[in-house]
Amino acid sequence: MTNSELELITKRQRLILLIVSVAGHGLKHMFNATFFILLPEIKTGLGLSNMQIGTLSTFRGIAGGLANVPAGFLGDRFAKRRAEILGCTIIVVSFFAVALGFATNFWMAVVAASLLSVAISFWHPAAISSLSREFASRRGFAISLHGTGGSIGETLGPVLVGSLLAIVSWRLILQGSMVPGLVSGIAIWALLRNIPTGEASGASISQYIGSVSTLLRNGKLLLVLIFAAGFAGGQSTILTFLPIYLNEDLGASSVTIGMYLSLAQVGGIVSQPLIGLASDRLGRKLILSPSLALLGLSFIGLSIAPSGWMFGMVVLGMGAFLFPLMSILLASAMDLVAVGAQATTVSLVFGSAVVVSALAPAIGGMLADSSGTESAFMFGAGLVLTVSLLSMVTRWQRSVTD
């Protein structure tokens, strides 16, 4: 983006872009959190096994990961259509949430949940690449604030849905989500449609594929993609089986499960902007590597902490890193690429994170069926601790000579 293009955007417009991006991300994650808090009810209502629940998450992950390829293309190719992309994303997410509410068997749930994940994937490239361009000198902080919106959504979603489950069915909750989705999507489009955007890349599909190929030859970026995959594999395993563990092993009610899942986000609301700011000032590696290690140890803590306040403290500590670290991974990747390829880079980070880690919940489900749910927690911990060690011993940050 040239200096003249930057001057077209006022400080007020940048602030609106930041606020709408953060708020929209929060709403998107409320839909995302709804899926996980409803998993025990979906499992019971459709008569599914742990293996089927893990497989459901795996299909959902594969679909969402693959969707990042066209999402990244649209984010770069149609940058000037940012308002339409972001507004329509929320509307389509709510539509497929309704479809999940009408599922009557395993495969219907798989299709609806997978399409829901596809729709969710279109938010990140357009939103994060915009923030990365407009807040280049404070990239880690801006992307972390965007992530904070997601943490707030993940905090409010379980409390709201857990409370609603006490009075209405899981189907009615999903079927009623179209109204807030439609209203919010239109509001996002209206607020962003007159804010100037960066130049669209103008790339054809073949040129886009070529740019992806070029990015994948960047050794440092490949390492960041591996970190993202391991992190997301552990994260998705924990998010899939924590509500199952609370329901079946600890005997928690839907309201209590919602409160625990919200607690997992509270720490991130506070820590995320602080971690992002620290990574801007101290470097990504100095923040990312030890944070991944602490996250992996917290996963182990889930399997050994007794129920009650000690389990709650482990969940709270886990939450300080569970979502914030994706923002640091994104900022690390953005540091390594040119401005015109940033939506594509976002899609690669999320694509690698989701696709490469898509088998994790299914493997976790097999372990849970054979050895107890705690074994799924240990599997997730192993993935995260492995990439923590890899991030410590490799050189992947952008150097001053790059």
Q: What is 7-393's CATH number? A: 1.20.1250.20
Mark out the alpha helices in 249-356 (DSSP H runs). Answer: 254-282, 284-304, 309-322, 324-334, 342-356
At 343 the pLDDT is 72
Would you say the C-alpha torsion 37, 40, 44, 49 has a positive or negative sign? Answer: positive
DSSP symbols for 150-181 = HHHHHHHHHHHHHHHTTTS-HHHHHHTTHHHH
Whose CA is closest to 242, among 382, 366, 380? 380
Tell me, rounded to whole angstroms, the distance of Cα 58 from its chain centroid. 15
Question: What dihedral do alpha carbons 75, 79, 81, 84 form, nearest 10°?
Answer: 40
Q: What count of other Cβ atoms lies within 10 Å of the Cβ of residue 194?
A: 9
Question: What dihedral do alpha carbons 177, 178, 183, 184 form, nearest 10°?
Answer: 60
Q: Which residue has the tokens 């025990």?
A: 40
At 211 the pLDDT is 67
**What is the rounded distance in angstroms from the CA atom of residue 133 to the CA atom of residue 342?**
8
Give the chain's end-to-end CA distance (angstroms, integer). Answer: 20
At 401 the pLDDT is 46
CA atoms within 13 A on the CB side of 315: 24
Q: How many residues does the chain have?
A: 402
Q: Which residue has the tokens 């707030």?
A: 152
Residue 282, Cβ density class (10 Å: 0-12 exposed, 13-18 middle, ≥19 buried): exposed
At 8 the pLDDT is 66
User: Two tokens at 290?
Assistant: 């030890």
Residues of the chain with pLDDT under 50: 1-7, 400-401
At 1 the pLDDT is 41
At 30 the pLDDT is 86
pTM for this entry: 0.71
Q: Where are the domains of the chain?
A: 7-393
**What is the rounded distance in angstroms from the CA atom of residue 159 to the CA atom of residue 33?**
10
Q: What count of other Cβ atoms lies within 10 Å of the Cβ of residue 197?
A: 21
Residue type for position 183 = V
Residue 397's contacts (CB-CB under 8 Å, 6 or more residues apart) are 220, 283, 284, 285, 332, 335
For residue 122, the 8-state DSSP code is T
Q: Which residue has the tokens 């006022």?
A: 10
Q: What count of other Cβ atoms lies within 10 Å of the Cβ of residue 20?
A: 22
**What is the rounded distance in angstroms from the CA atom of residue 4 to the CA atom of residue 22?**
26
Residue 245's contacts (CB-CB under 8 Å, 6 or more residues apart) are 302, 373, 374, 377
At 72 the pLDDT is 78
At 398 the pLDDT is 67
